[in-house]
Amino acid sequence: MGGSAFRTPRPLRSSAHLNPSQDGLGGAGVRTCIGCRERGRRADLVRLIARGERVVVDERASAPGRGAWLHCRSACLEQAVRRRAIGRALRMQGPIDDHAVWTWFGAIERAEHRVE
């Protein structure tokens, strides 16, 4: 049972996960997109939440409960659906209804095309 009462400190892993300000995002309000897995500012991502078996967009990003973050790009939504990341991130069991999310993304893309 001998041995020292003090443990040797563990070597540090990459410091990028310890100091988020090194990535140029500032550290405050940084989230990870569940589609592309890139980190981004909270203001640049949209929050998804579960409402029963449905997944909806939380436009104000203030609804209570678990949320998942996604860039406002259809490519990120497609990746998240293909990888089944939405259900995992929201801890949903069984099939999910993501129709409202697809509708929201479609409306955003249509609005962007009108502006151009």
pLDDT tens for each residue of 4-46: 566 666 655 544 555 555 555 666 699 999 999 999 999 999 9
How much of the chain, in percent, has pLDDT values that exceed 90? Answer: 66
The pTM assigned to this predicted structure is 0.74
pLDDT at 111: 84
- State the CB neighbour count (10 A cutoff) for residue 69: 22
Domains of the chain: which residue ranges? 29-115
CATH class of 29-115: alpha beta
pLDDT exceeds cutoff 90 at 71: yes
CA angle 45, 42, 21 (to 5 degrees): 130
- State the CB neighbour count (10 A cutoff) for residue 98: 18
- Helices then strands (H, E): number in the chain? 3, 5
Note the Cα 66 to chain centre separation in Å. 11
Closest listed residue to residue 35, CA positions, set 63, 71, 61, 9? 71
